[in-house]
């Protein structure tokens, strides 16, 4: 197992709007991608010139101030549109960098942040906006996550919420593009499109399964038996215990832990003694989206299994 060199960043580093000491980790077995020798640091005005790309960067994130070789204060969160309107994406003055430019200062052997902190001190290890729109969705733009240095597509409206802040580091100079990343960029666009198509297909399948998760019955005896089978199904599939069980409603307690399943069933009267019994399923997902894939898959399986279970039991 590789050993990591660990240093502690100053308390000025801010993560999602809160002062938090983060561990700055670098792998000494990997080569530096942004050695300090590549940069000319102007400590008088808080800028740094990159001799590889001929770009000049602000040392600090927007909202921070450069003083005593450190960046102090809180970085400011921006939505993409606010960042573009405030700083622009073209010209010789300070502007928002494109995704290649922003990626050019990533230090690939380090994380938290994925930067050379001798050049860019006190950087929050979170997302920074690039000026590059996302090719297949006009509502998204590309950002670089400086926790590990990867590119992400982000909703243009996000960025100011403390939990999901997107920050800005400004650049000036002629626009720079890395031609060696063209294939990587095309593949990233394709991967993102396939991911979204898969997510959309999964949502459509879940919506259809939810519509299909009902059974009908024609008289009181069969309806009572079917509703009893719904309770048995809920008992066998839900993570939570049943809280309410009447002649028309069955409900479990709400899920309390991430990934837990809650369920319910309702008997909807029809003509005469007939009825429809419809199932509902909930699954607890974390604020960051963890368990979303598991929950979607689990709910789909439960919905799909309801009618076959009831029909099999009624046929036995």
The two beta strands, 127-133 and 166-167, are: parallel
Q: Which class is 206-315 in CATH?
A: alpha beta
Q: Two tokens at 181?
A: 């990343």
**Residue 187: beta bridge partners?**
none
What are residue 14's phi and psi, to 5 degrees? -120, 130
pLDDT in tens, the chain (316 residues): 333 332 323 333 333 333 344 689 999 999 999 999 999 999 999 999 999 999 999 999 999 999 999 999 999 999 999 999 999 988 778 999 999 999 999 999 999 999 999 999 999 999 999 999 988 888 999 999 999 999 989 999 887 877 678 999 999 999 998 877 777 767 777 877 887 788 788 788 878 887 888 999 999 999 999 999 999 999 999 999 999 999 999 999 999 999 999 999 999 999 999 999 999 999 999 877 788 889 988 999 999 999 999 999 988 6
Q: What is the pTM of this model?
A: 0.56
Residue 282 neighbours by CB under 8 Å, 6+ apart: 254, 255, 261, 262, 263, 299
Q: Two tokens at 123?
A: 């950087």
The two beta strands, 150-155 and 261-269, are: unpaired
Q: Two tokens at 151?
A: 């590119």
Q: Two tokens at 288?
A: 């960051």
Residue 306 burial (CB count, 10 A): 25
Residue 54 burial (CB count, 10 A): 10
Torsion sign across C-alpha atoms 297, 298, 300, 301: positive
Q: Locate CATH 3.30.310 in the chain.
A: 206-315
Torsion sign across C-alpha atoms 130, 53, 28, 58: negative
């Amino acid at each position: 197992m590789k050993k990591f060199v660990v240093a502690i960043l100053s308390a000025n580093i801010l993560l999602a709007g809160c002062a938090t000491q983060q561990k700055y980790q670098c792998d000494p077995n990997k080569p530096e991608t942004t050695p300090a020798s590549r940069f000319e640091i102007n400590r008088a005005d808080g800028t740094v010139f990159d001799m590889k790309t001929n770009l000049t960067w602000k040392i600090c994130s927007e909202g921070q101030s450069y003083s005593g070789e450190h960046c102090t204060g809180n970085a400011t969160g921006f939505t993409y549109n606010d960042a573009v309107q405030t700083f622009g994406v073209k010209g010789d003055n300070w502007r928002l960098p494109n995704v290649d430019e922003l990626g050019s200062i990533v230090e690939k052997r380090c994380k938290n942040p994925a930067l050379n902190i001798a050049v860019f001190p006190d950087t929050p290890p979170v997302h920074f906006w690039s000026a590059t729109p996302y090719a297949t969705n006009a509502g998204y733009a590309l950002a670089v996550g400086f926790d590990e240095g990867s590119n992400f597509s982000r909703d243009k409206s996000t960025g100011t919420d403390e939990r999901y802040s997107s920050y800005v580091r400004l650049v000036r100079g002629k626009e720079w593009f890395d031609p060696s990343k063209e294939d990587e960029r095309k593949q990233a666009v394709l991967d993102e499109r396939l991911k979204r198509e898969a997510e959309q297909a999964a949502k459509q399948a879940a919506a259809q399964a939810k519509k299909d998760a009902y059974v009908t019955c024609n008289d009181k005896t069969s309806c009572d038996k079917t509703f009893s089978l719904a309770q048995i199904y809920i008992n066998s599939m839900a993570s939570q215990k049943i809280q309410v069980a009447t002649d028309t409603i069955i409900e479990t307690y709400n899920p309390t832990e991430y990934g837990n399943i809650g369920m319910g069933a309702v008997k909807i009267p029809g003509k005469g003694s007939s009825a429809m019994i419809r199932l509902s399923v909930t699954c607890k997902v974390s604020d960051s989206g963890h368990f979303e894939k598991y929950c979607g898959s689990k709910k789909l399986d439960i919905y799909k299994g309801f009618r076959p279970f009831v029909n099999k039991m009624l046929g036995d």
